[in-house]
Structure 1
Amino acid sequence: MRALFGHLRGVTAVTGLVAVTLLGGIPLVPASIIKLALPQGRARNLATAAVLGIAKTWARTANAIILGVSGTRLTYQQLMADDPNGRYVLISNHQCWADVMLLIAAIDPQLPFPRYFIKEQLRWLPVVGLAAWALDFPFMKRHSREQLEKNPELRDEDMNTVRRACAVFRDLPVSLVNYAEGTRSTPAKRAAADSPYQTLLPPKAGGTAFAINAMQEVLDGILDMSVAYVDTPDPQFWDLLCGRIPQVAIRVRYLEVPVDLAKGDYVNDPDYRQRFKAWLNDIWAGKDADVTAIQNPDDPARSFADRPEPEPPRRG
């Protein structure tokens, strides 16, 4: 009976999400088309604000459905002052599709509304793809290592995508989200990558470095987000919708951009690249310890407040 009730919860949540997405598409489609047709200037900025307002309303409604139907409790620890008008690069771990929505639920409205680095293929999703396009999400090609070795010029393609996106965000409040692992962390993917971490995949530093470099003149800092599914070593979005994950813990802390890492040539400067990787790996090691403890049913930790205060990352 409990399993049946859980499935009914999941179906109800999915039905609600589909309905609110379709309803949100009614004002979103014309607003996005108008925005994309306008030249740079005041009129385009007003259209962007309209699209952003629709996106915020959709996200808040969708999160109310997800958390209300599932009964999941979200605990949020913010180790910095509110700053809705700042410009930040946000780095986070990524374990399931719920991460994307819960990130918005956690930081909106006290921190800038997020834009995401997302895969090129998602551009063609109905409604969602159009919204991402109109909100200037950077669409990344995600070239494989083999492709990059055969054609090193492909590195410049993603770097130029980041530069174009960041040129837009230099004039707008933003939390530019980079899931540094590049994909969702699962036991199978960690094994395939020979990950040194218990819960996380090794971070790919290039996207974070490109974003920091592109925005370095206006960047207010880095938001380091950690997401943990309490007592759930292998979280799944469907399990959350069905009410099988009672609590999700999220922490955001502010990091200053290290002076020696704020500007550099990640592609052509091996020393800069190694220093940046070392800095990001140090962040990831601390994040992995905290997330692993909270997701371990045998560990008493239930939130990030139950863990030691994180230390600033060491310089590379």
Structure 2
Amino acid sequence: MSSLFSTVRGCAAFLLLLLNSVFWCSLLFICASVKLLLPFTAVRRLIDPVLNAIATSWIACNTGWMRLTQRTRWDVQGVDTLQRDGWYMVLCNHQSWVDILVLQRALNRRVPMLKFFLKQQLLYVPMMGLAWWALDFPFLRRHGRAALAKNPALAQQDRDATRRACEKFALVPTSVMSFPEGTRFTAAKHQGQRSPYRHLLKPKAGALAMSLDAMGTKFRSVIDATIVYPQGTPTFWEFLCGRTQCVVVRVRELPIPQELFGGDYAGDSAHRARFHQWLEALWTEKDAQISALLGPAAATRRSAGASDAALATPAADR
């Protein structure tokens, strides 16, 4: 009976998510068509805040259906002093598609609209791909090492896409969101990387460096967000079904070191080393924070069950 009730809850949550998305996306597409037909900076300055307001309302309604259908306990700290009138770089660890809903709920209407770096393939996701395009989410192509070795010019494509996106972000207050690990955490990936962190994959600095290079001192600061699921990382369906007992979010605002501005990440090895040193230090602190939030017993369970959890996670949610 409990399993049946959980499934009904999941179906209800998914239906509310779908209806909410269809409603707000319809408004979004109408406004986006104006921006498409009149691609002028003055028009963008007028339309972009409207598009962001629609997306913010969309996220707020997502929080509403979560409250209606979920029994999850939310433990969120560190968001009270954030402001909506500036530009932020937001960094977070990545474990599940649920992370995006968690970040949106924790930060919505506390900071400017979150804009994510997305894989190029996600542009073709029905309805959502067009919505992300309308909101100027940057789509990046992921090239493997073999392809880059064969054609180094491919690396310039992502740099150009990031720079174009950041030029648009500079027009209105924006929170540029990045998962520095580049992919969701699994035990197999963690082992394959030989990651020096207990709960994290190795961070990648390229997209962050390109954002700083393109936007410069426009950024107010870094928002370092840490998400922890004490009972284990949920799949998207498990979250919809209300099986996530608790979500812990810790947020802190950090200054961006002045030496990271104005450098050439691709061409200056010394600047690149400084960037990696800063990010790795931040990741070391985050890893220790996750261990403290999980506690000794929970951390042991996570370590022991990570492989089983990774195998049990559907391929679509990895």
The TM-score normalised by the length of structure 2 is 0.88
Alpha-carbon offset, residue 147 of structure 1: 1.9
Note the residue ranges of structure 1 that are not aligned, 5 or more in a row: 301-316
- Counterparts of 1:21 and 1:136 in 2: how far apart (Å)? 17
Q: In structure 1, how many angstroms separate the alpha carbons of the residues matched to 2:198 and 2:43?
A: 49
Structure 1 counterpart SS, 2:217: coil
Hey, what does 1:9 align to over in structure 2?
Answer: 9
Give structure 2 stretches of 5+ with no counterpart.
Answer: 300-318
In 2, the alpha carbon distance for the partners of 1:27 and 1:20 equals 11
Cα distance between partner residues in 2 of 1:83 and 1:168: 20
Tell me the SS of whatever aligns to 2:23.
helix
Aligned-CA RMSD value: 1.9
Aligned AA for 2:264?
D
2:171 aligned residue: 171
- d(CA) in 2 for partners of 1:133 and 1:290? 35
The 8 Å contact of residues 92 and 226 in structure 1, kept in 2 or not, is answered as yes
- Structure 2 contact 6–241 (Cα < 8 Å) conserved: yes
The 4+ residue runs of structure 1 with deviation greater than 4 A are: none
CA contact 1:80–1:253 (8 Å) conserved in 2:
no
**Partner of residue 203, structure 1:** 203
| 1:252 Cα offset (Å) | 1.6
Indicate the residue corresponding to 1:235 in structure 2.
Answer: 234
Which structure 2 residues correspond to residues 68-83 of structure 1 after superposition, within 5 A?
68-78=68-78, 81-83=81-83
Q: Is residue 32–residue 134 contact of structure 2 (8 Å, CA) maintained in 1?
A: yes
Partner residue of 2:308?
Answer: none
TM-score (norm 1): 0.88
Q: Given the superposition, is the C-alpha separation of residues 191 and 28 from structure 1 closer, same or farther in structure 2, using an over 3 Å criterion?
A: same
Q: Could you tell me which amino acid in structure 2 is paired with residue 154 of structure 1? A: L
Q: Which moved more, 1:88-97 or 1:194-203?
A: 194-203
Counterpart-to-counterpart distance in 2, 1:222 and 1:240:
28
Distance in 1 (alpha carbons) for counterparts of 2:183 and 2:130: 22
Correspondence for 2:91: 91
- Native 8 Å contact 1:76 1:106 kept in 2: yes
Q: Could you tell me how far 1:237 is from its partner in structure 2?
A: 2.2
Task: Name the one with the larger helix percent.
Answer: 2
Within a 5 Å distance, the mapping from 1:1-316 to structure 2 comes to 1-78=1-78, 81-232=81-232, 234-295=233-294, 298-299=297-298
TM-aligned CA deviation for residue 235 of structure 1: 3.1
Q: Structure 1 pair 180/10, CA: closer, same or farther in 2 (3 Å)?
A: same
Give 1:175 shift. 0.6
Does the 8 A contact of 2:197 with 2:287 survive in 1?
A: yes
Distance in 1 (CA, whole Å) between partners of 2:7 and 2:220 is: 44
Contact 2:95 2:184 in 1 (8 A): yes
Shift of 1:183: 1.2
In the TM superposition, what is the alpha-carbon distance from 1:158 to its structure 2 partner?
A: 0.8
